[in-house]
């Protein structure tokens, strides 16, 4: 046992030992899912270690998702939620580009996401209750007073310089070295991606994308007259480099569009090595990579993952992001770091809408400089991590046996695989009748895939949301084939 053992390598060894002991007790079934674990004080006496050591051990087990803290109540063993299967990816998949058709369904789902009368289990936007609204409002008011003219003139050609300086400083954390003039402020990440597609492709070209993939970009690809080539992706590693390599050999691919960190909907975090391989593979074929890193600041671990752009040596990576998931979706402020395509994107932006709205740029610049952005990120990450884990537990509890889901380590989206035979489209319609909006899986592919998947958003967790998950679970039970 631990008591009396000398810790030769600092406290880390000791708390890991304590965590190992507790994990062992859970493994053996001494403590089962839902059981309350001994208090920190009890364990500290039992193991003869400090309160701090037990607290660290419990934190480690929380990070490993073995246990869960409940406010004012203590630590509990989590239910084991089966993780979504990592698909066996064929290294030579049958891959053909598909012409995208704009779907009425997609528009309907997006409209429903914003309906205030529906429970928002579908929309991937942060909850207003978790955003620093008062502070942003105060900053906006004082910046409008302080900056006067700047708030009403065009911030062109690239956007408000003070904001671009702040963005360039923050890009360093993702491994990107850039100056303010490398940054083009856009109207959200969607405009950044649109400009990137327009700067790199022409109608009829083929774009390689992940599968499953964020449905709004599918629609954008369609609108531009492009074809999408779906490359298999896994929750652990993201887009399959092997399948992409094969696809490049077999097809003429003009650009590749990837959500590298906590993708939508899989929540995949591409390991650095895979990001490097992706950038090098595409560069060796002179194919631009359009990187969407909109969720990158939302890692639960507080360690901001790097961007694929950080491995770019040839200027072929166009980095796109925004403040939609972290601060203010309605400000509509994003940015692109366009590399070789920067000048062309700037011209396109001027032609399309000249510049993005000035007042939110002023407010965001000040917020990033002095508003406590890092503090806000720490708080929102914690909230999302807790929400995801509570929602995952509820899905495990209420959905039919055989349901699986992703275990994302950032963002706030869950991708749920229901037993084969449960029709996600039917579930979507039944849920709407019960006042709940979700996103059905088939929207994330053009190839009739994901018929038994749904995407859930854990931006909020409260009793109403839990009740919503319960209702969805009951509906899923009703849809089980007999
Ligand atoms: C991957 C991804 N990119 C872009 C967007 C939209 O970004 P914005 O609101 O900044 O245009 C979303 C929103 O859901 C998203 O999930």
Atom nearest to 329 CA in ligand 1: 9
Pick from 167, 155, 446: which is nearest to 293 by CA?
167
**Neighbouring residues of 3: CB distance < 8 A, sequence distance ≥ 6:** 46, 47, 48, 49
The C-alpha atoms of residue 428 and residue 60 are separated, in whole angstroms, by 37
Within the chain, what is the greatest distance between any pair of CA atoms?
Answer: 73
Tens-place pLDDT, residues 415-466: 999 999 999 999 999 999 999 999 999 999 988 899 999 999 999 999 999 9
From the CB of 292, is ligand 1 less than 6 Å away? yes
Q: What is the pTM of this model?
A: 0.85
Beta carbon of 294 within 6 Å of any ligand 1 atom: yes
Using a 6 Å cutoff on CB, does residue 259 contact ligand 1? Answer: yes
CB 11 within 8 A of CB 52: yes
Q: Which of 109, 197, 216 to mutate to test the pocket of ligand 1 (most atoms within 8 A of CB)?
A: 216
Residues of the chain with CATH 3.40.640.10: 98-104+132-372
Residue 140 CA to ligand 1 center (angstroms) comes to 23
State whether the beta carbon of 360 lies less than 6 angstroms from ligand 1.
no
- Residues of the chain within CATH 1.10.10.10 domain(s) are 11-77
Of residues 42 and 342, the one with the higher pLDDT is 342
Domain made up of 375-479: CATH architecture: Alpha-Beta Complex (3.90)
Please compute the mean of the pLDDT values over residues 46-68 and round it to a whole number.
88
Per-residue b or e along 398-434, where b marks 16 or more CB atoms closer than 10 Å to that residue's CB? bbbeebbbbbbbbbbbbbbbbbeebbbeebbebbbee
- pLDDT digits 0-9 by tens, 115-160: 889 999 999 999 999 999 999 999 999 999 998 899 999 998 899 9
From-to residues of CATH 3.90.1150.10 in the chain: 375-479
> What's the pLDDT score for residue 433?
95
Tokens of 47: 């193991």
Residue, of 121 and 70, whose pLDDT is higher? 121
CATH architecture, domain defined by 11-77: Orthogonal Bundle (1.10)
d(CA 227, CA 211): 14
The predicted-structure confidence for 271-312, as pLDDT tens digits, reads as follows 999 999 999 999 999 999 999 999 999 999 879 999 999 999
Q: What is the reported pLDDT for 114?
A: 83
350 CA distance to ligand 1 middle (Å): 22
Q: Is the pLDDT of residue 174 over 90?
A: yes
The residue whose C-alpha atom lies closest to atom 13 belonging to ligand 1 is 124
List Cα–Cα distances, 311 to 280, 306, 317, in angstroms: 8, 9, 9
Q: Whole-angstrom Cα distance, residue 126 to residue 131?
A: 8
Pick the CATH number of 98-104+132-372 from 1.10.10.10, 3.40.50.150, 3.40.640.10, 2.40.50.140: 3.40.640.10
d(C-alpha 481, C-alpha 385), whole Å: 33
């Amino acid at each position: 046992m631990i008591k009396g053992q000398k810790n030769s390598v600092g406290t880390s060894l000791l708390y890991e030992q304590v965590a190992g002991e507790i994990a062992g007790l859970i493994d053996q079934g001494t403590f089962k899912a839902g059981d309350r674990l001994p208090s920190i004080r009890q364990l500290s006496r039992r193991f003869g270690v400090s309160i701090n050591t037990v607290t660290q051990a419990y934190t480690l087990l929380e990070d490993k998702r073995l246990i869960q803290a409940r406010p004012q109540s203590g630590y509990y063993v989590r239910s084991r939620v089966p993780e979504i299967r990592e698909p066996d990816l064929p290294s030579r998949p049958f891959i053909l580009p598909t012409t995208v058709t704009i779907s009425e369904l997609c528009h309907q789902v997006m409209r429903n996401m914003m309906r205030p009368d529906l429970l928002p289990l579908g929309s991937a936007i942060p909850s207003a209750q978790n955003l620093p609204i008062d502070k942003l409002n105060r900053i906006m008011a004082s910046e409008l007073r302080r900056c006067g003219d700047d708030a009403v003139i065009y911030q062109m050609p690239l956007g408000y310089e003070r904001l671009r300086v702040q963005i360039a400083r923050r890009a360093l954390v993702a491994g990107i070295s850039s100056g303010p003039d490398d940054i083009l402020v856009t109207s959200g990440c969607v405009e950044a991606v649109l400009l990137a597609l327009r700067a790199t492709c022409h109608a009829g070209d083929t774009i390689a994308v992940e599968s499953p993939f964020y449905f709004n970009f599918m629609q954008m690809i369609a609108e531009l007259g492009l074809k999408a080539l779906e490359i298999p992706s896994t929750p652990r590693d993201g887009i399959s480099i092997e399948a992409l390599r094969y696809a490049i050999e077999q097809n003429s691919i003009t650009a590749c569009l990837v959500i590298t960190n906590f993708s939508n909907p899989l929540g995949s975090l591409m390991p650095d090595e895979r990001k490097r391989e992706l950038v090098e593979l595409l560069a060796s074929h002179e194919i631009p990579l359009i990187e969407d890193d909109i969720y990158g600041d939302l890692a639960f671990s507080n360690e901001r993952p790097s961007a694929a752009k950080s491995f770019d040596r040839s200027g072929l990576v166009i980095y796109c992001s925004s403040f939609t998931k972290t601060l203010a979706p309605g400000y509509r402020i994003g940015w692109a770091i366009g590399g070789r395509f920067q000048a062309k994107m700037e011209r396109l932006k001027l032609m399309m809408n000249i510049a993005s709205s000035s007042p939110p740029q002023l407010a965001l610049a000040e917020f990033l400089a002095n508003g406590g952005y890092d503090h806000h990120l720490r708080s929102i990450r914690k909230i999302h991590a807790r929400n995801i884990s509570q929602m995952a537990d509820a899905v495990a509890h209420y959905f039919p046996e055989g349901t699986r889901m992703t275990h994302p380590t950032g963002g706030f989206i869950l991708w749920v695989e229901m037993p084969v035979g449960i029709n996600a489209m039917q579930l979507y319609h039944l849920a709407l009748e019960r006042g709940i909006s979700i996103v059905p899986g088939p929207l994330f592919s053009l190839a009739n895939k994901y018929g038994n998947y749904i995407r859930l958003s854990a931006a909020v967790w409260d009793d109403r949301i839990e009740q919503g998950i319960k209702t969805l679970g009951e509906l899923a039970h009703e849809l089980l084939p007999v």
